[in-house]
Structures are given as C-alpha cells and as structure tokens.
Amino acid sequence: MDRAQMIDRLSDPAGRWDVLVIGGGATGLGVAVDSAARGYRTALVERLDFGQGTSSRSTKLVHGGVRYLRQGNVFLVVEALRERATLLRLAPHLVSPLRFVVPSYSWWEGPYYGAGLKAYDLLAGRRGLEPSRWLSAREAAEALPTIRTEGLRGGVRYVDGLFDDARLLVALARTAAGLGATVVNYVRVDRLLKGEGGRVEGVAATDVEASRALTIRAKVVVNATGPFSDDLRREDDPGSRPIISPSRGSHVVLPRRFLPGDSALMIPRTPDGRVLFAIPWHDRVVLGTTDSPVDLVPIEPRPTAREVDFLLETAAGYLAEPPALGDVRSCFAGIRPLVRSGEGRNTARLSRDHHLEVSPSGLVTICGGKWTTYRKMAEVAVSRAAEVAGLPRLPCPTADLPIQGHREGTPADDPMAVYGSDAEAVVSLSRERPGLADRLHPALPIIGAEVAWAARREMARTVEDVLCRRTRAAFLDAEAAEEMAPAVASLLAAELGRDPSWEEEQVAGFRQAASAYRPDRA
C-alpha cells in the first residue's frame, strides 16, 4: 500500500466514490473489503492509524462467547461460531484453535459448566473444533501446570479461536487495497457534505500529514467509527439520540511462566459478571478483561490502577504463583462500542449484537457487534448501503475470500508466522542492507526488516504505528518497546525520507504514548 498514491486517488476532484467508509477498525475495514469485493468503487478514511482504538485492543479471541449463552443470546453465539469457522479458514496464519480449561473447585462446577459447554458444542455443530470434555484433577493440572491445585476437583476443556487483532487489521487493509479500494490512515473527517434535500454526499476532510484539505464525494457514506459513532450521527442530525454505551475493557500482560502450557485458563465468573481469561499469546500471557462503563471515550484509553489490581487479584485465586504488579510487562485497554439497552449502567449485560441504521439523510451507521462477527456486520452494512446509493445489487463474496497472507501450516512459534505467505518477502528484505536482519531488542523477536516492511507495504507512518500495531512490541513489553524506539525511528526515517529532528520528535512522542502501557503505580 502506497499512501501517496492513495491520497492522490482520494483527492481526485473528478472522482466520485460509490461507497465511502469512515473508520479504519475491524468493522470499517470489513466494509471496505466487502464493498470492493463486490465491485463497488470504494474508499476508506481513518483519522488516526488503522485499529488504533478498539480493534487492536481486544482480548485476542475469535469465539462464539460462552457467557452469552447464560444471557440467552443464542442467535449471537450461533452467528459468532459460524464466523469463527470462516475466519479460521480465511486467515489461518492469524487465527488458530486454542484449548481452554475451566477449573472446578466445587462439586457443582464441573456438571454446571460441562453442560454449558456441551450446549456450546451443539450450537457449533459441524463447525465445532473439538468436543468439550471433562478433565480429572490430574488432567486439569497437566493442562495448566501453574494452576492452584489445592481443592482442585477437575475441569472442563473446550476449544475456541486465538488471533492477532492488529495484524488481522493490516491484512484486511491490504486485502481491500488489493481489490482496488483506496484505504488511507491519518485522514480526518471534518464535516459531512450535504446536497439537495439534506442528503449526505461526501465529506470535507484533512490529510493530517500534509495539512491538506480534501473534498471526497460519494454516493453513500458509511459510519463505522465504533465508540465514536454517535459523534458523526450528531453531526448529521443534532437531535439524534445516543445509541452507544461505551465500556472499557482492560488487560494486563504477564511473562509466559505464569501459564507455560499449551492451554488457556478460563475463570467462569468474576464479581462484575464477566468471565476472565488468561491466554498464551506471542510468548506472553494476556489476562483480561474488565467491563467498566465510561461516560467519555478517550482517544488513548488506559487501564486504571483499580482494574489492574482486580485482574491480578482474580488471577491470584487460580494460580499457584500469584502475579504481582512488578510482573506486569504491559497493560492496555480498549473501548467497546456496545449498543444501548434501556438506561442501565451494567455494560457487562449488554448485547454484543450489532446495530444498523440509515438516517433520513442517507448516512449508514453500523456499530456494536464483536471482532468475531466483523465480516457478517460488513455484509449487512454493504447490502444496505448499496440500496441507499442505488448501486447494482451484487452478491457478497467474502465468505470465501482469502485474507492477505493466507497460508496454512505455519508453525505457531515462528515469529514470522503473522506475515503468512509474505514471510519470505520480509526475510528477503532483511538481506537488503546491514542491520535489517538484527533483532531490535533481546526481549522480543522483532527485526529491522519488519520496520522497513511496515513502512513500504503496510502504511506505517510513525514509531507508534510500528511498535503498537505492525509489531505488537508495546503490548508485549512496554519497557522493551520504549528502548527500541530510537532504532525504529532511525529505520523509519530512512524509509520515509525524514530528517533527524523528526526522529527525535517520534522518539519523544512514543515515550509519552508508551506510558499508557505501563501500569499506574499510584
């Protein structure tokens, strides 16, 4: 993806897009892929970097949602299980099966959770990955070598999906571009453009990098801005009622020694009504998540000290070695764009189903949902957007469309696995000049060629783009990422043609950003 070329296309005054998508997260990029795959002339703009908000800050699960069965949302579970199977097929380099163990310490827990997971199996049907089964205390301890064994009666094992959210976003952006879509980060929408009768006909925007004004005309505009959906809806219609009830989900990242086996731990009930996961991910352990309602949606959410303590204390009840604050390598939070249901504040009980609406002006808004169902959300949104725009009715092909990098059989412990079929090209790039094959930090298996690749092929524009979303350094080890920043700035400057002052600004900016990934010790 060449950003300069994309901007030139976007700013062509003679052009008019069929579909303009605002928002470069999972839903927006899913819409761009779907729209371009159907043959519509498609553009997408994102005011920051792709997935900088919610979509790079998930719990890393592609799943049906066991706890949604308890809420009675069977349709959502069935749809998500169907989409889980689709993602495993379309992006095997980024989505993989993972075994989970639910430990049992009371006589009733085994039968209770076992019955729930058998229902989960039945709903998955032929798309199931592996039948759930009861484990003895010995088998549960073997699967989770660091589990607290005092009082352990056994457990239940089931299988769900694990993925790398930000890397999947990058793959979706490249898939959309490969289908002819124009997708651009760091383009801010300033206002909607309306024509006769108040119909939305495009946007006035700004290329943030060049401080350049852009006028982008389109037959239909899709609002896929996640937690910020209501902001655009209010601009379209100041009297519109809010539909988003934002919730902060926080996570901490621990060393692998806290969960050294091949299975994840699922804690079935927490005080806030959620389940809690401890998940092996990129040789670390992700522990999450919380569900805290918020009134304001920050650009860069961060976990509170109370949330970090809650996660560590909850995990301590299940692990032989209780994790402490000093063990935390990184922490992160994302804002879920949950759809409102009445006036209650318990976001843990809100549905993860999606919401689609068309305003009287023709603005199409798609929000809510969950990562797992992004493709289905996009299918529904594009079909409706095509109707609004009067476009030819074309079938959705994305259920059988491989995602960029698609390759099966890549070893999970290979640091290049996330690049899939592009891995050889990244390795080849490492031979281009001295230093590109070198690790940037001993704590993480990231090499210089990955920075060059991110700039050339993945539209990385800043050190933060590289360390947070093209690689996952900041999510895996905030201290190591901060130490890598000068080397990344130097490599990125060489690729983008920046001067030493830019490098200094980037390093300083990343150090400030990295503070959000360090636990608040106040």
Structure confidence by residue, pLDDT tens digits, 349-395: 445 678 999 999 999 999 999 999 999 999 999 999 999 999 999 99
- pLDDT reported for residue 521: 58
- pLDDT reported for residue 15: 76
Domain boundaries, the chain: 3-54+166-243+349-400, 95-163+245-335, 417-517
Listed residue (373, 372, 395, 371) closest to 383, CA to CA: 395
Per-residue pLDDT, averaged over 402-430, amounts to 91
User: 501-518 burial string, b = 16+ CB within 10 Å, else e?
Assistant: eebeebbeebeebbebbb
Per-residue pLDDT, averaged over 163-168, amounts to 98
Task: Kindly report, residue by residue over 107-128, the tens digit of the pLDDT.
Answer: 888 899 999 999 999 999 999 9
Per-residue pLDDT, averaged over 58-82, amounts to 87
Burial zone of 23 (CB within 10 Å; 0-12 exposed, 13-18 middle, 19+ buried)? buried
- Domain at 417-517, CATH homologous superfamily: Alpha-glycerophosphate oxidase, cap domain (1.10.8.870)
Per-residue pLDDT, averaged over 330-334, amounts to 97
Contact of 79 with 376, CB cutoff 8 Å: yes
DSSP state of 433: S
Report helix, strand or coil for 380. Answer: helix
- pLDDT reported for residue 522: 43
Question: How many whole angstroms from its chain centre is CA 364?
Answer: 22
Q: What is the pTM of this model?
A: 0.96
Per-residue pLDDT, averaged over 463-472, amounts to 98
Q: Is the pLDDT of residue 342 over 60?
A: no
Fold of 3-54+166-243+349-400: FAD/NAD(P)-binding domain (3.50.50)
- pLDDT reported for residue 502: 98
- pLDDT reported for residue 72: 72
d(CA 160, CA 223): 30
Burial zone of 329 (CB within 10 Å; 0-12 exposed, 13-18 middle, 19+ buried)? buried
Kindly state the tokens that stand for 124. Answer: 């998955």
φ, ψ dihedrals at 240, nearest 5°? -70, 140
Mean pLDDT for the chain? Answer: 93
Position 341 confidence tier, pLDDT thresholds 50, 70, 90? low
Q: Which of 110-114, 270-274, 434-438 has the lowest mean pLDDT?
A: 270-274
Position 408 confidence tier, pLDDT thresholds 50, 70, 90? confident
Q: Which CATH architecture has domain 95-163+245-335?
A: 2-Layer Sandwich (3.30)
SS3 letters for 3-31?
A: HHHHHHHHCCCCCCEEEEEECCCHHHHHH
d(CA 98, CA 163): 10
For strands 17-22 and 42-46, give the pairing.
parallel
Q: Is the pLDDT of residue 104 over 90?
A: yes
Q: Is the pLDDT of residue 410 over 80?
A: no
Q: Is the pLDDT of residue 339 over 90?
A: no
d(CA 122, CA 26): 28
- pLDDT reported for residue 349: 45
Q: Is the pLDDT of residue 303 over 80?
A: yes
Position 65 confidence tier, pLDDT thresholds 50, 70, 90? confident
